């Protein structure tokens, strides 16, 4: 099973863990800004040879049997350039902010993929009032 390869840890001591930042409670029908950051406490290197390729955000409403994919962000620029690795004019930063309207309470799940260290995940419960 793929779940055997999904890693998680305390984001304060591990640079690969996606950190979900949003309010714990949101009014029904209100837009909830959700920020996901990789390397919040310990910066991830984000070089041509070692980078975060993507971040995905899923939501599982209480009692549901499936998840809803809220967003998927691909990071395409890793400072590669004509003169070689890490010489390019642009480098993406590994964070994204999305806004979602949740119909009921549930859990947000963030996953991120590092090209060297694989798949990482975290979760956060959100209450809809």
Per the annotation, the verdict on 14 as an active-site residue is yes
Active-site residue, selected from the candidate residues 44, 51, 58, 78 = 44
Per the annotation, the verdict on 93 as an active-site residue is no
Active-site residue, selected from the candidate residues 14, 93, 123, 124 = 14
| Alpha-carbon gap, residue 59 to 80, rounded angstroms | 34
pLDDT tens readout for residues 54-96: 999 999 999 999 999 999 999 999 999 999 999 999 989 999 9
Active-site residue, selected from the candidate residues 22, 58, 78, 114 = 114
Asked if 83 and 67 touch (Cβ cutoff 8 Å), the reply is no
Active-site residue, selected from the candidate residues 15, 40, 51, 78 = 15
Per the annotation, the verdict on 16 as an active-site residue is yes
pLDDT tens readout for residues 116-127: 999 999 999 999
Query: Residue 15 CB: number of other CB atoms within 10 A?
Result: 19
Per the annotation, the verdict on 50 as an active-site residue is yes
Q: Are strands 25-26 and 118-128 parallel, antiparallel or unpaired?
A: parallel
Domain count, the chain: 1
Asked if 75 and 89 touch (Cβ cutoff 8 Å), the reply is no
| Alpha-carbon gap, residue 77 to 99, rounded angstroms | 24
Q: Which of 55, 36, 59 is CA-nearest to residue 108?
A: 59
Q: What CATH number is attached to the domain comprising 55? A: 2.60.40.730
pTM for the whole structure: 0.90
Per the annotation, the verdict on 114 as an active-site residue is yes
DSSP 19-44: EEE--SEE-TTS-EEEEEEESSSS--
Domain encompassing residue 119 = 2-128
Q: Please tell me the predicted confidence (pLDDT) of residue 105.
A: 98
């Amino acid at each position: 099973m793929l779940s055997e390869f999904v890693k998680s840890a305390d984001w304060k001591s591990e640079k690969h863990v996606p950190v979900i930042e949003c309010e714990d409670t949101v009014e029904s029908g209100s837009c909830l800004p959700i920020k996901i950051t990789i390397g919040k406490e310990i910066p991830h290197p984000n070089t041509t040879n070692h980078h975060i390729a993507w971040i995905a955000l899923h939501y599982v409403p209480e009692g549901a049997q499936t998840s809803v994919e809220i967003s998927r962000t691909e990071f395409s620029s890793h400072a590669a350039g004509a003169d070689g690795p890490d010489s390019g004019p642009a480098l993406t930063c590994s964070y994204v902010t999305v806004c979602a309207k949740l119909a009921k309470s549930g859990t947000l799940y963030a996953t991120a993929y590092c090209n060297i260290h694989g798949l990482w995940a975290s979760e956060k419960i959100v209450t809809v009032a």
